[in-house]
Structure 1
Amino acid sequence: MDELIKFVPEQLYILVAGLCVVGVFLKNSPRIKDWTIPWLLTVLGVGFSISLNGFNATSILQGIICSGVSVYGNQLFKQTIKKS
């Protein structure tokens, strides 16, 4: 995870945390299928990254990375803490 987070500027750390929270709410929603959660988080991550940093390729990539870090972090937690 350290390798991914170095590509996220400090002002987007809050975006990663926010995407984690949104992911938990989506996971607990009976209407949302599990396979759609990463896609929804990616769209939200890119959208908020663009709104914070302007429309450019870097913002799009950083939004994708932010959503990836949030999903990856969630999976690390679930696979290591909850399984043991």
Structure 2
Amino acid sequence: MEQIMNYVKPELVVVAVVLYFVGMGLKQSQTVTDKYIPAILGVLGIVICGIYVVATCNLVGTQNVAMAIFTAIVQGILVAGLSTYINQVIKQSGKEE
């Protein structure tokens, strides 16, 4: 987890927590098959991170726009992965071995 945290922007860590709760809500609602939840969280993470990147970056020029898109995608995937990791840590901590 420490290695993942080195790449996630500190201000976007809260997005992982939000995605964790969204995932739990999707699982509880039973409207979405479990196998689609990670993909939904990934897309939602990219969208939320995209909003953050657009709000904080200077989007003048092709290079800046490309970098903003890249950053949004990478950060979105990382926070979605982090939310899944959080879920697994919670599940595993409750198991007895």
1:29-40 to 2 correspondences below 5 Å: 29-40=29-40
Distance 1:59 1:22 in 2: 19
TM-score, with structure 2 as normaliser: 0.80
Query: 1:68 matched to which residue of 2?
Result: 81
Q: Which consecutive aligned stretches of 4+ in structure 1 deviate over 6 angstroms post-superposition? A: none
1:32-78 Cα distance to aligned partner (Å, 9 max, x none): 11101100000000000000012420121010000000001111220
In structure 1, give the amino acid aligned to 2:70: A
Q: 1:21: Cα distance to partner?
A: 0.8
Task: Report sequence identity in percent.
Answer: 35
RMSD (Å) for aligned C-alpha atoms: 1.0
Q: How many residues align?
A: 83
Instruction: Kindly name which structure, 1 or 2, has the bigger radius of gyration based on alpha carbons.
Output: 2
Structure 1 unaligned residues grouped into runs of 5+: none
Q: Tell me the SS of whatever aligns to 1:31.
A: coil
TM-score (norm. length: structure 1) = 0.91
**Is 1:8 matched up with 2:8?**
yes
